[in-house]
Copies of this chain bind each other. A is one copy, B any other.
């Protein structure tokens, strides 16, 4: 039922459930809250739900609209509902013989941890406790009574726990009791009277003995808790409007702690870790729900098979209460087929009778989600599209990388940002050269740096994982590591690296170079020693689900890659093209970097051209290899982007070495490096600005691309379609000038080789100005690729390398809900993307639009791209499956809506 339709039913404040029927149903979560709607649904299904009723969220809204008073008619409806519960249970609220006791719980639309705790056993008083005693024994009754008083005073009357704890502790000390269980009914009676005296003293009035007063007190407390600071903060952080309100669930009590014929437990209809189709759960005899969660007693498994699997000595429910067990299995089956999803259920057994207290879709691991989705589709319970929607794209990461074994002992040295998932073990090294050397000898190494730069690429490649003490989720280390599929922990501020001394310190501990650590990239943790890992199992289920996903999506998925290895990985993960080949990554290889440096240090165009002519065959070879691997898939190649000083050495030692090998005076080198230094390199002399000032660089690159494409066309018989991408364009004129040069180079190569090929020339939209001017730029551009990394930096004015220092505070204070470098900021950056897409298309209908920032692998951002109707997203190889799944979700959800 839609929200609007529900609000029309606002003339009814109270919805009953129980006894095989209910006023509400599971579709009414907005009105009844999640818990209330599911209780109603279970009652409708004829399941044994303790009867009760729900005060709707509309009551909450009305309560606040009316200056914290209840709407007319509410009291009457509550009394009628209570009467129905009395009738159903045969108990009477406030009765001294067979009293009805209830629980009172909040229940909002969305789960809200900031809300009021539960009040149990409400209805107990000096009068009704006698009734309970008759039924369940005196000690049980008085123990329940004093618990209720404590809970009520705390939750409803706002008193502190310690008042009651002091009384209890003093009493136990006086009578030399050690455990609560040693106290008798009379002891509890005495304590209760002390409690009540303390309450009267603090509040100036007695504890409410009238169950109705208690009930309204609890209801008021739930509504009040909607506006407490915790709840407000939580709503602010999660963008939940205050108008939603909370519901209140009042339900007759059942007791799992009334002796050996009573029990309480939780169960899953399938194994939430593996997804296996086995009934899975835990229970405790003679206990209340809270006890299972609290972990004081170890619960027993529900089924014999599970008990065997974990070698449990405890009798499973299957044997301890076979009748209840069978009934529970039947309920579980009913619920799963009804909800068509794996259910997480809570139950209580009171005196051998089963009661259902809760059901909801169960949380599960990624592996379980995959298996359950595929199994259910194959069982015919859901269709393939639904199966696709059951696996969250974000979970896929867990399936693609090794992970730390769940049972492993973790000795955390330091925690940082979970920059790139996966786990790895190795010896710590502090330099990329050492990483490369040791890796060549077959050692597993972990590269640990304050931060990384393009000069570290070889070390990062050689390393099993990367750790940095500085930088955010989209720092150089994080981006490159994700691209390579290396686990990475970034911005581990607690880490102090002293590379000179060959040690690192954290939390007072010191480790040496060569010490073994394990990296948990998914958690952002560095663990001491070697920790057990689980390898990914990309079984048939994975392939099957991805196939279904591909069938559903319309958005293409490409990859950001430049090495043959990455390109191959991406293809194996289903990439449909290269969306971003960063040519400069090829410049850092050890035999090339001296040539690149001699190009930079050349004093004139002639000197630069000499160096470029040496680079030409190298780049041609790179491109040829990529074209060969990609077959007929499209390849977008970005011309040189970073500022030239990134290629120069930084430290004194490296300078000396480079000066020596280049035959240049070190002072000259230093001066040149200093002249190239920039205050804000992100906003400096880079991207197409290099192409404008040093056209010979772009000409060499264009030549390498076209020569490689022609060569492959000749070798293989099929024609690659290169997409030449000019970065950092801010005005149409830049693109005009550079496209002219690319075209001229293409024509020259075609003439020289006698082979003509199709090709495109386009641009990245990564500056706000480019987005605003997209209509003009589209006159020249064949395609746009949204470079949302840089577009985020410029639109938000945040350097991703420097953001770590404040972005944490920003997330904590709810300024940015999510790291904008991970999930596209749709209101800001997204609006520019939308404007650019709109204006670009207005000029050139059908202009090819893609995205190649890190966001291309983020599910929410992929959905956004789908909604804008982009042609493709491009992401690092290991995120290709995530993007494929996310694109399918977006398409299916859009079709839904």
Contacts and interface: CB of A to CB of B under 8 A. Distances in A.
A384 to B, nearest CB: 40
B734 A799 contact: no
Contacts of A831: 772
Interface stretch (A100-108, A152-160, A803-811): A803-811
A683 B685 contact: no
Contacts of A678: 799, 801-802
A733 B815 contact: yes
A801 B684 CA distance: 9
A685 B808 CA distance: 12
A832 B683 contact: no
A827 B772 contact: yes
A826 to B, nearest CB: 11
A684 B796 contact: no
A216 interface: no
A731 interface: yes
A598 interface: no
A683 B683 contact: yes
Contacts of A829: 769
Contacts of A805: 684-685, 693
A682 B685 contact: no
A692 B832 contact: no
A813 B685 contact: no
A681 interface: yes
A728 interface: yes
Interface string A540-574: 00000000000000000000000000000000000
A679 interface: yes
A155 B193 CA distance: 118
Interface string A724-738: 000010110110010
Contacts of A766: 797
Interface in A684-741: 684-685, 689, 692-693, 728, 730-731, 733-734, 737
A261 interface: no
Contacts of A828: 730-731, 768-769, 772-773
A793 interface: yes
Contact of A682 (B683, B734, B768, B809): B683
Contacts of A832: 768, 772
A793 B799 CA distance: 13
Interface string A822-835: 00010111011000
A728 B797 CA distance: 8
Q: Which of A683, A693, A766, A829 has the most CB of B within 10 A?
A: A683
A795 interface: yes
B806 A689 contact: yes
A506 to B, nearest CB: 16
A798 interface: yes
Given A766-B797, A769-B825, A681 B683 contact: no
A20 interface: no
A684 B799 contact: yes
Interface string A783-801: 0000000100111111101
A680 interface: yes
A767 interface: yes
Given A683-B802, A805-B685, A815-B692, A796 B767 contact: yes
Nearest to A790: B797
Contacts of A733: 813-815
Contacts of A798: 683, 730
Interface residues of A, number: 47
A684 B798 CA distance: 6
Nearest to A643: B802
A684 B809 contact: no
A682 B797 CA distance: 8
Interface string A395-407: 0000000000000
Given A767-B796, A813-B733, A806 B680 contact: no
A816 interface: yes
Contacts of A790: 797
Contacts of A734: 815
Nearest to A737: B813
Contact of A730 (B680, B683, B797): B797
Nearest to A835: B772
A767 B820 CA distance: 15
A813 B692 contact: yes
Contact of A692 (B681, B769, B797, B806): B806
A731 B809 CA distance: 14
A795 B772 CA distance: 9
A797 B794 contact: yes
B683 A793 contact: yes
A806 B691 CA distance: 11
Given A766-B797, A772-B828, A816 B731 contact: yes
A234 to B, nearest CB: 15
Contacts of A731: 815-816, 828
A624 B733 CA distance: 50
A780 to B, nearest CB: 13
Contacts of A679: 681-682, 799, 801-802
A801 to B, nearest CB: 4
Nearest to A830: B772
Given A797-B728, A799-B680, A806 B769 contact: no
A797 B769 contact: yes
A682 B805 CA distance: 14
A391 B768 CA distance: 36
Nearest to A808: B693
Contact of A768 (B730, B795, B799, B815): B795
A806 B685 contact: yes
Contacts of A689: 806, 810
B768 A809 contact: no
Q: Which of A681, A692, A731, A829 has the most CB of B within 10 A?
A: A731
A393 B769 CA distance: 28
A700 B772 CA distance: 39
Nearest to A684: B802
Q: Which of A693, A737, A793, A802 has the most CB of B within 10 A?
A: A802
Nearest to A680: B799
A478 to B, nearest CB: 14
A181 B773 CA distance: 61
Interface in A606-622: none
Given A683-B799, A685-B802, A773 B693 contact: no
A769 B795 contact: yes
Given A680-B793, A693-B805, A728-B797, 10 more contacts: A683-B683, A683-B799, A684-B799, A684-B802, A685-B802, A689-B810, A693-B809, A730-B797, A768-B797, A773-B827
13 contacts: A678-B799, A678-B802, A679-B682, A680-B682, A680-B793, A682-B683, A693-B805, A693-B809, A733-B813, A766-B797, A768-B768, A769-B827, A772-B795
Can you list the 9 inter-chain pairs with the closest CB atoms, starting with the nearest?
A: A769-B828, A683-B799, A680-B799, A768-B768, A684-B802, A767-B797, A679-B801, A678-B802, A680-B682
